[in-house]
Structure formats: C-alpha cells, structure tokens
C-alpha cells in the first residue's frame, strides 16, 4: 500500500518534481504546484493501475486547456487537426508515464514497475456511470502556464 510505505510529504515532493519534469520533457512546458479552484471538475479521469512493487492507482484530471497544450505540443499540430484516437492515446500515455515514473522514483529505481494499460473513466453525464470516489484519494493540483490539471493517487484498484 503506497500510503503505508511512503508519507504524503514524500509523495507530494516527488510528484511535484516528476510531473514538472514530465510535462517539460513531453510537452516543453514546466508545471507548478497550485491549489485548483473548488469547482475544478474536468469530468473525465485517466488512470493507470500499478501492480508491483505495490498496488495503487494514479489518476489524472485535465482541464480542456491542459489537454490541448499537452497534445498540441507533443504532436506539433493544432487540436482541430488531430484525431480523437491521437488525443486519447496521448493523454493516456501522459498519465501512464506519470504513474510509472513516480513509483519508479519512489522505489529508488531498484525494482521493475508493473502496470496495467492506462484507461479512461468518463463522467456520469457522458457514460451514465457513477464514479465512486476511492476512500483514500490524495490530490495534487498543477498549472502548466495557466492550464490546470490534477494528479490523484489512491492505494487500491481503480473504482469505476
């Protein structure tokens, strides 16, 4: 269980470093920690389950501006010219890299990290599903040049 092995402070500090590095390496923009507004709710959630060396789930919630910035910067194309498949794949890969990289750094790169394939949870309106919040969801909010997104971690499997 991630929260039994590592304190919230350790996870938060590492997440800040890892996420900032990843947005820079993938999209050329550094991200900084912020407190997102209470009404920040992008609807969709992307997630990756970690199976080894311990079980946990990483989620990302991305504002439309953050999605656009990441995808356009990676593909070098305007949002309108990109196919849905490219957009989804890009944001799933982004989420997967954040999850796997954070766990790798937490374990000191000593152990291989086993993950599932990243997936999307659609919101209630889009999919007629109710998202049940995991009990121990820990959230960190970021801004990439004003584009908001959050990374969330829970110690169990993804709850859909």
Partner 1 sequence: MKKILIIDHSLTARFIIRKMVEKTGKSVSILEASDGVEAYSILENESADIDLVITSLMLSKMSGITLLKKMQLSESLCRIPVILTCIGGGREIIKKQLSGCNLAGFIGKPVTYRSFMRTAGGFL
- Residues at the interface with partner 1 (CB under 8 A): 22, 25-26, 74-75, 85-86, 89-90, 92-93, 96-97, 100-101, 103-104, 107, 109-113, 115, 117
Toward partner 1, which CB reaches closer, 37 or 108?
108
* Residues contacting 13, CB < 8 A, separation 6+: none
Q: How is 137-160 classified by DSSP, letter by letter?
A: -EEEEEEETTEEEEEEEESS----
Q: Which is nearer to partner 1, 93 or 127 (CB)?
A: 93
Q: How far is the CB of 10 from partner 1 (least distance, A)?
A: 17
Query: How far apart are the C-alpha atoms of 32 and 44, rounded to whole Å?
Result: 22
CB closer to partner 1 out of 44 and 86: 86
Cβ-based nearer residue to partner 1, 117 or 125: 117
Rounded Cα distance between 24 and 29, Å, is: 4
Helices 84-106/64-75 angle, 10° precision: 90
CB 31 within 8 A of CB 144: yes
CB of 86 to partner 1, least distance (A): 7
CB of 47 to partner 1, least distance (A): 15
The minimum distance between CB 93 and partner 1, in angstroms, equals 4
């Amino acid at each position: 269980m991630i929260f039994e092995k590592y304190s919230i402070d350790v996870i938060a500090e590492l997440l800040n470093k890892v996420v900032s590095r990843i947005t820079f390496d993938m999209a050329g923009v550094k991200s900084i920690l912020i407190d997102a507004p209470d009404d920040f709710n992008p609807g969709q959630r992307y997630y990756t389950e970690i199976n080894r060396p311990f079980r946990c789930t990483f989620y990302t919630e991305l504002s439309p501006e953050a999605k656009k910035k990441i995808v356009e910067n990676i593909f070098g194309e305007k949002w309108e010219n990109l196919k849905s498949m490219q957009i989804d794949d890009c944001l799933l890969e982004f989420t997967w890299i954040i999850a796997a990289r954070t766990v790798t750094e937490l374990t000191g790169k000593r152990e291989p990290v086993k993950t599932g394939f990243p997936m999307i949870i659609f919101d209630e309106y889009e999919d007629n599903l109710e998202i049940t919040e995991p009990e121990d969801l820990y959230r960190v909010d970021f801004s990439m040049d004003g584009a908001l997104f959050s990374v969330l971690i829970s110690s169990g499997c993804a709850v859909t």
